[in-house]
Structure formats: C-alpha cells, structure tokens
A and B are shown apart, each in its own frame.
Chain A
C-alpha cells in the first residue's frame, strides 16, 4: 500500500512538472510577443525592456525555466515601473495587466471555484445517489421511469441554457455573489445558492443514472444474495452492503467530474458573476496575460492529479474488495 502511494505521488509530481514545463512553452508558442502585449499599444521602449527583463525574456530559455522553477520554491523579485515587487514562494509569476502577483490572484479566485464545486457536489451526489438508489430498488416502477426520464431530460438541455434561465429568472433565489466563508458563512452560502442548485441539479441527473445502474448491478451480486439469506433487513442489505459497493464507480466519476469542474467552472462563474478561476483564466486568455494563464494551467494540473490520486486511494475505504498494490 505504502509503495503504491509513494509511486503514485511521484508519478503525480512528474505529471505536474511536465505540465509546468509545457505551459512555460506558452511564452514561445503564443503568436505574439508577450512583453509587447503586456506593454500595450502606447508602450515606450523603456517600459518594454523593463517588462522583458522582468519576465527574463532577454535571457536564454533554460535560464528562464530555471528562474520560474526557482520562484516556485524560493520566491522571486520583479521590477514593475520602477517598483521592486517581492513575490514570495510559491511564486507563479507577476501579472502586469493586473499589477498583482499571480499567486495572489489565484488565492483570491480558487476559493470561489472550490466553494462552487464543493457545494454543488454535495447537491448532486446527495440528490443523484438517493434518486438512483431508490430507482434501482423499485426497478421498472413508475418512480424508476420517472427518475430516468427526468435525468435524461435535464441532461439533454445545454448547461449554459439552464444556468442562464436560473440567473435571469429565478429571482426568488438570493443574488449570486461571493463572500468569504470565514467572514460571513451565511452570506457565503446564500450568495452561492443559485450556482449550487443549478450545477447540482443538472449534474444530479447523470449521477442518478450512474447510481441506478451501479446499484442494480450491485444488488445482483452474490454477497447481496448471501446477506439476504442471512435474514438481514432489506434496508440494511441495500444501504449498508449494496450501496457501499455501488458507490465505488460513482466515486470514480465524482473525482473526475470535480476535477473537471474545478478547472472548468467557467460557465457557472461567468453566468452567475462569481470571480473564480475560470473567469480569471478567461480574462487572462483574452488579454494574453501569460503568467496568469500558466498559473491557471498549473493549478488545473495539480487539481486533476490530486483528485485522481485521492479517488484511487479512496477505493480501499469504499470497497474492501479493492486492494492497492
């Protein structure tokens, strides 16, 4: 087990490092001079050179990669318009368009996205798994057909359409805005409620289907038959034994979904006006703010790798049949 974990952690770190180096290539593959774009049309030579030097663009590529990596572990110093800016580790660069260290911008944006995704996950896992389980228990009943029909219907409507309708017309819900959980938990929850419900219920449709299929398979397994033959109550058979086995593939999908949403909640953030990672990266894309784009890519890679690793490790907890080697 320990060997497996160590191997996966090392593998995760290598993936992140490769992603980091590849994202660094943005500076060279991008169709325009990053310093020129940052400097803008009224740029003078001095400011242009200032930005080039701060980005290390006047140095060899290897030196640039080295400076970037060094900044991650030891911090870095930038010069912007005559001001020296300390960027403490982990320094992911400096956004000249916003005049802020990338780490600070990400630190502001990531909690928003995490709040959206985690809250929505609570909604769709709870609703989806419960509905799927009930449908599986009453397979072929009107409730089963209803649950499957509703989930198919919901998932056939493009997400952004649902989100737009909620944002514009579900005016009984509190206005979407982000407040820090630590500052005001009630304002945090009420400001995110519309996003949670929208993302939650649209995703719950898929989870209903996953859970139903997995539960049907699980309830047909030998261990369930054995449990029933021992005279264990049906409720206990279903929820203690059947559901535990059925939840494993759902957890796998959940891990992938959450990773996808954490790195791609752009529709939700944009439509509900929540200043998360997606909005930050989209703005950076539009303005060719490459340091922020690189930071966004790095955060995305870390999230994806970490969540995949977490899901793998959770297998052993959720399903005793799984042994990691």
Chain B
C-alpha cells in the first residue's frame, strides 16, 4: 500500500484548482528548481542518545499544525500513511528509528540495537538498549515489543497497517494475531528481558528498517483496547495525548517519563503540539505565510499551493521548507490485458506535459520521472530514459497510431476510472482521452465519485485496463526492498499493490534473490532491475514528488524528513 500521504492526495485537487494561468503551476517540467538529492543507505549502530541538538533550538511554546486531510488512524499498528507516521515519531519509540544527520536519513538504534542476523538469514536477534517507560510511568517490557509484533498480524482489525510481516515472518501467512490466533506465535521469542528474537520465513535484510514503523512500538497486552486503542495509545516518545477529537483535533503534551538521554533520534523542544485537521490548506497556508500572531508558530504540512508561490519572495522565502519525498507517481497499465506493443504505443501518445500542467505541478512539488525508484531512494540511477518514458513531452499520437496499426491493434479499447466530482481529475482524464483517441485507441474513461474511486481503482478485476491503484508509491524505508517485492511480484496482485499486474515467476525469483542480499550489495542490483522493469512498459512514469511546505516565522529547525516527505517534527522548535 502506498504511503503517499493523504495530505498529498487530498490536496491534489485543490492545489492549482485556484491557480491562475501564469502562476508557476503552469511552468513546464523543465523549470525544475533543482534535482532531488540522491541518498545512500546509512546506518549508525553505535548512535546513542541524546540526539545531537538542533542549532539555535530552545524549549517551550506550542506548535500548531494545520492540515486539510485527517490521519486515518493513530493506532500504531494501523499507521501506514506518512502523516500519521510522522506524528507517530512524537509519540512512539520503536526498536529502530531514522534520525536526520546533515539532511540524510540514518537508521539508528532506538529501543533496541540494529540487530544481528543468523548465518541462514532467517533469525534476527535484537538486544534492548534502554529501559524505557510509558507515559503512565510503567516500564516497557520485552514482552510488550513481542506483543506489538503479534498484534500487527491482526489484519482483520488493523487492515491499513503495513503487511511485510505477513510475507516475511515465520508462519506469517497462518498466524492471525493475538485476538483470534492466541498468544502462541513461533515467529517471535523473548528468551530474556533484554532479547527479542524474530524468526523469518524467508530472508529479509531490510528488517531493521522495517522495525522503525510505529507498528512495532511496545504495547502492553493488558492495556490493549483493540479498535479503541487509537483513541489514546500508550506513549513512549517525547509526547503523549492530551486531548483527541477524532477527525478534528489532537493535542499533545509532554511525556514526563521520556528520557532524552536514551533517545538518539528525537528532540522535544515545544511544550505542546496542536494538530488541527479539516482546515482548508490554501487558507491555512496563507495564514502561515502571513504569520500573524499565533500563526507565526504554526505550519501546514501539505505541499504549498501553487497560487501562493508568488508570495514566497524576499524574507518569505525562508518560510518555505523544501526537501525530498520518496515517491514516484505513475499511470499504470494492466499487462494482463494490454500487450507490450500496445503499451509502447500508449507511452508514445502519452501527453506528459499537458497532464503536468493540468495537474498543477510545479518546480517546488515535482520533478519529471523516468525510473521506478525516485532519486531519494538508494539504488536510484539516472539511466537514459527509455523511449517515451521520460516523464515529459507532448506525446506523439500520429506515431503512436502507426505503432498501433503495425501491431494490428487499431481501435484497441483502453479504459480507466477517474474522479468525476473534482475538476482536475476530469481535465486530466479528458486530456488523456483526447491524446489516445487521436492515436487510434477506443477510449472509455469511467467517471466515479471521490468516495468510490479508491475502491474502484483497487479492484483489479474491474473492467478497466489502465490507471489502477496504486497510482504512485513511496518508500516504506530507503531501499529497493520496499519497492520491487511489493510492486512487481505476482503476490502484489493479491496484495492490491501492483504496478502493471506482472505475473512472472522468473522475475519473482530474481526479486527474491536480490532482496536476500545485504543492503550494500542489493542497492546496485535494484538499480539494474529498475531499468529492466521500466522496459516492460508497466507504467508511465509521471513525476517524483518533492516536499515544499510553509512554516511560520517563529518555527525553527524545519527540515524535510526524507523518509516521509514531510517536515521532521522531532526537530522543530519555536524561536521565541
């Protein structure tokens, strides 16, 4: 499941709906502000708390965070979207965690070390590094970590949470979590109070990265209120719930039992946080830019609306925080239904530039894509774009028509779902329909309402052959291991996370083979595989997303969290 955060998706329609003709929204893809930084995999197994201080930081005050979209849950087991994940960094300590050092994400030990793997690569052992406490003052026990892992298998209850454990952990396909499967699970052991052992069904070299997810924060079994847990989860991070109005507002206050000296990844500069959801992004971004009164201590974590970009000059420019986002946005084609020759013709006709403009993309928010992996994920190599997969260009319907006729597929029917209740998706659908019609296709766009779109595009048996979800993907951690095994293996179809619905056993085996390699060896292999899969024309690469958000003039320490494509909350402070 893509973690392309809901804020992005929800505001995509609003962004540039208001954009005037000459705003940067209509600048072509060529006016990019700068390339996305390329990351390398870095771990620091020896990192210790406290986290290095943020220059100029001071404690105190309340930071207000505005957002139009609402996190779907704050139950740590169910958290998968980036917005709730970033909030989770304030609330939940996890076995491992990403720290930002010099703008680069580095995996550091959090509650445990980074683990050691057995010779057969099927058993990982993690040693507890610190005696943490919950916000109520009780001790975190090793069994709580094991229970959280077991709880993550209860996908009947926490359907939105990450699901790699179902594939990689021992008996992951059989165990159904503690509610129906009982406490006995062979995949996790706690031989003593300091040791967590995880048994795997197949090698999973990225496991230390995966354990940075909120799903693996300790949860005491006695305090597990199941579906109700999201309303007041046990905090181990710097903050805890103060008050929570679902869908509207979350207030956080300090967790007095959080020990900064044991935490190498987090700071806790503000005294409190207020998250206000359901707030119009354009309006609150304008408030943040104005920074009058309390809004000087506020931020909005949706990407800047193009209509506001012209205001970001002079001193105001310092309020713009730019960073990487680990996402590639695409338009996928169902390879089960559309032959390769036809897919190539679609690529030839694809009107990248017109769609870029209609989508209101700009140099702050996006960069044309030509690969599977975005530049911010280790393994990305900027190889010369394959023909018609450069993420830019007007498309060539005449040449596409020739290709289609040469393949004997003139009049081939292509169909897709689009949101007919929002203007931008309607425009994009129309642009695509016009281009493909000109190329000799029979086009059949199917309009559906917003609430229905996700369900329709996630149905791989629906009578369409393009544009199924996910229409983008973001790294779950900075490695090809959170891309290729999820998107391109046969099981991806059943998982509902396939680009192109590939069913190639040889490719499955190749991906498994690379995924079993240590991170330093797999990186180059993922890059090679990237080009091979792009050559299958499974998706039109549209753009790599970037982070560009605005913060109030009193907010300091703002930098992008490259693992989430959002501002790194644990580093933020108020200047006065």
Stretch at the interface among B152-160, B399-407, B477-485: B152-160
Number of interface residues of B (CB under 8 A): 48
* Minimum CB distance partner of A45 in chain B: B156
Stretch at the interface among A2-10, A14-22, A34-42, A135-143: A34-42
Question: Does B554 touch A at the CB level, under 8 Å?
Answer: no
Known: A32-B452, A98-B246. A273 touches B70 (CB 8 A): no
Structural contact, A83 and B226, CB atoms closer than 8 A: yes
Looking at the complex, which one of A32, A100, A279 makes contact with B449 (CB distance below 8 Å)? Answer: A32
Structural contact, A83 and B159, CB atoms closer than 8 A: no
**Within B143-168, which residues are at the interface with A (CB < 8 Å)?**
155-160
* Minimum CB distance partner of B458 in chain A: A41
Number of interface residues of A (CB under 8 A): 41
Known: A99-B246, A168-B283. A279 touches B278 (CB 8 A): yes
Structural contact, A32 and B451, CB atoms closer than 8 A: yes
Q: Within 8 Å CB of B3, what residues of A?
A: none
Query: Min CB distance, A255 to chain B, in Å?
Result: 29
Structural contact, B227 and A83, CB atoms closer than 8 A: yes
Question: A42–B279 Cα gap in the complex (Å)?
Answer: 27
**Within A260-315, which residues are at the interface with B (CB < 8 Å)?**
270-271, 273, 275, 279-280, 282-283, 286-288
Looking at the complex, which one of A81, A98, A168, A282 makes contact with B290 (CB distance below 8 Å)? Answer: A168
Contact pattern, B 469-490, Cβ under 8 Å of A = 1, otherwise 0 = 1000000000000000000000
Query: Min CB distance, B66 to chain A, in Å?
Result: 8
Interface centre among B247, B249, B293, B450 (most CB of A within 10 A): B247
Q: Within 8 Å CB of A100, what residues of B?
A: 246
Contact pattern, B 115-152, Cβ under 8 Å of A = 1, otherwise 0 = 00000000000000000000000000000000000000
Q: Within 8 Å CB of A175, what residues of B?
A: 293-295
Question: Does B253 touch A at the CB level, under 8 Å?
Answer: no
Structural contact, B496 and A42, CB atoms closer than 8 A: yes
Contact pattern, A 42-63, Cβ under 8 Å of B = 1, otherwise 0 = 1110110010000000000000
Question: A43–B451 Cα gap in the complex (Å)?
Answer: 15
Known: A81-B226, A83-B226, A168-B290. A283 touches B70 (CB 8 A): yes
Structural contact, B179 and A82, CB atoms closer than 8 A: yes
* Minimum CB distance partner of B282 in chain A: A164
Looking at the complex, which one of B157, B287, B290, B452 makes contact with A37 (CB distance below 8 Å)? Answer: B452
Q: Within 8 Å CB of B227, what residues of A?
A: 80-83, 99
Structural contact, A46 and B290, CB atoms closer than 8 A: no
Question: Does A229 touch B at the CB level, under 8 Å?
Answer: no
Q: Within 8 Å CB of B159, what residues of A?
A: 39-40, 42-44, 47
Q: Within 8 Å CB of B5, what residues of A?
A: none
Q: Within 8 Å CB of B448, what residues of A?
A: 31
Query: Min CB distance, B331 to chain A, in Å?
Result: 18
Question: Does B1 touch A at the CB level, under 8 Å?
Answer: yes
Structural contact, B160 and A81, CB atoms closer than 8 A: no
Query: Min CB distance, B489 to chain A, in Å?
Result: 17
Q: Within 8 Å CB of B454, what residues of A?
A: 40-41
Q: List 16 A-B contacts (CB under 8 A).
A: A31-B449, A37-B452, A42-B458, A82-B180, A83-B225, A98-B246, A99-B227, A105-B246, A108-B248, A167-B287, A168-B283, A169-B290, A171-B293, A273-B278, A280-B247, A287-B451
- The 10 A-B pairs at the shortest CB distance, nearest first, are namely A171-B292, A41-B458, A81-B227, A288-B451, A81-B157, A275-B248, A98-B246, A32-B452, A83-B227, A83-B226
